[in-house]
Structure 1
Amino acid sequence: MSEIDPGAEDREERARKLFAGPIAFLKSAPALQHLPAPSVPEIAFAGRSNVGKSSLLNALTNRNGLARTSVTPGRTQELNYFDVGEPLVFRLVDMPGYGFAKAPKDVVRKWRFLVNDYLRGRQVLKRTLVLIDSRHGIKDVDREVLEMLDIAAVSYRLVLTKTDKIKASDLAAVQAATEAEARKHPAAHPKVIATSSEKGMGIAELRTAVLEAVES
């Protein structure tokens, strides 16, 4: 834990308890008018359509079926909301995956409008977590989303997924390259979190990072 944050250890325990408590699917919003009232902080998850976003959300919340995993990348084109805590403390927002090559152009355009409008106009959005597949690193389609977040002035943090699928030496190189990329972007958090949904690596750190963003 960082020596400059004496409350970090307490936050880690509070995050553990919070994610072990009540978490429930609230609704899917296909358009902005269907969003829930902006009454609590929101943490959004973004990533390419095959990056393992649903698996990470399930690992984060200790629930196997909270977020639906799809064998068809790009199928989900709605903002999916999950309530965390009872009484409600904050909401997780699962954004539709991007970069799916087989999607029709009108679907891609609808995604861009929905996500861009949400990012620009959601005052309670505290942070967006942008997931990057550690086996592939940051792609041009990811950079487009990072630039969209920079322009929208939305605070975001890069999270590596599937780190159990590569060698430790390769992971160190990917993490260093990802952090170097993050330093180029004004809205990006400088520290990258490496995770594995399958092995549980980085999950506790990610929970703590979510709570830290909520309380910031």
Structure 2
Amino acid sequence: MSEASPEFGGFLDAGGEEAYGEEEREAGRLLFARECRFFYAAQRLDQLPEAVLPEIAFAGRSNVGKSSLINALTGRRTLARASSTPGRTKQLNFFDLAERLVLVDMPGYGYAQAAKSVKEDWQGLMFNYLRGRTTLERVFLLLDARVEIKDSDVAAMKLLDRAAVLFQAVLTKCDSVKPAALAAKQAEVRALVGRHPAAYPAIVSTSAETGRGIETLRATITRLALPAS
């Protein structure tokens, strides 16, 4: 499992994002252009598939846009499906990407704003998965750029700190936010994650609708999963 509080010497732009060269972006495009398929779902710890390939997990509140982002990353409209009732899904969904890495769609940690929804939804399986999965490289914590940070988001960060799992904040639905408001949100999130020992300092601002940030996120994941490629 990745260690918390890694040393970071990369370049961040004004929005707190890492800069990637053309070669890294192309490597990300090529990887995510390959076949990606759902292969497993687990509702109990003893149902988890064997830990073999590097895993990248996606977490966030139930209505934050996880399914849309995963579909945008993989270029497949219906690979990940959102529940018709937000907060209803209580299982880990595993997707195999080209037999090189595994994408994990974690259940939303509560439709309610209260921080206790994190504790209720993520107790047991979720926390045990986070702290015990040796192949888990990073958790991408999705935050809606249009709304204020919820107590449940902060509680999720604290839980990731406790599990000692490296996480990185990803802003979603950025196409719906004006530039000045987005810049303020980016600054707010950067300040917030800076107070958490398990947080990676760079953030990613995305839109599943326009494709903003998708290349950056692909490059980030490719660097994590295939460092020698």
Distance 1:106 1:147 in 2: 13
Matched, 1:118 2:129: yes
Distance 1:96 1:64 in 2: 19
Give the aligned residue type for 2:128: D
Q: In the alignment, what sits opposite 2:112?
A: 101
- How many residue pairs align between the two structures? 211
What's the CA shift string for 1:86-135, capped at 9, x where partnerless?
xx111000000012239xx9997353211101001001000000000001
Equivalent residue for 2:61, pick from 38, 48, 54: 48
Equivalent residue for 2:28, pick from 15, 20, 27: 15
Give the aligned residue type for 2:90: Q
Residue 63 of structure 1 and its aligned partner are, at CA, apart by 0.2
Contact preservation (8 Å) 2:20, 2:219? no
Contact preservation (8 Å) 1:149, 1:187? yes
Instruction: Detail structure 1 runs of 4+ shifted over 4 Å in the superposition.
Output: 5-8, 105-108
Give the aligned residue type for 1:41: P
Give the aligned residue type for 1:25: F
Matched, 1:194 2:205: yes
What's the CA shift string for 1:27-63, capped at 9, x where partnerless?
1111111111111110000000000110011001100
1:38-187 alignment, distance < 5 Å = 38-85=51-98, 88-101=99-112, 109=120, 111-187=122-198
Question: Judging changes above 3 Å, is the alpha-carbon distance between structure 1 residues 73 and 189 closer, same or farther for their aligned structure 2 residues?
Answer: same
Distance 2:196 2:30 in 1: 33
Structure 2: where are the runs of 5+ without partners? 1-9, 13-17
CA-atom RMSD, angstroms? 2.4
Q: In the alignment, what sits opposite 1:28?
A: 41
Distance 2:192 2:43 in 1: 32
Greater relative contact order: 1 or 2 (C-alpha under 8 angstroms, separation 6 or more)? 2
Q: TM-score, normalised by structure 2?
A: 0.86
What's the CA shift string for 1:135-161, capped at 9, x where partnerless?
114211011110111111101100000
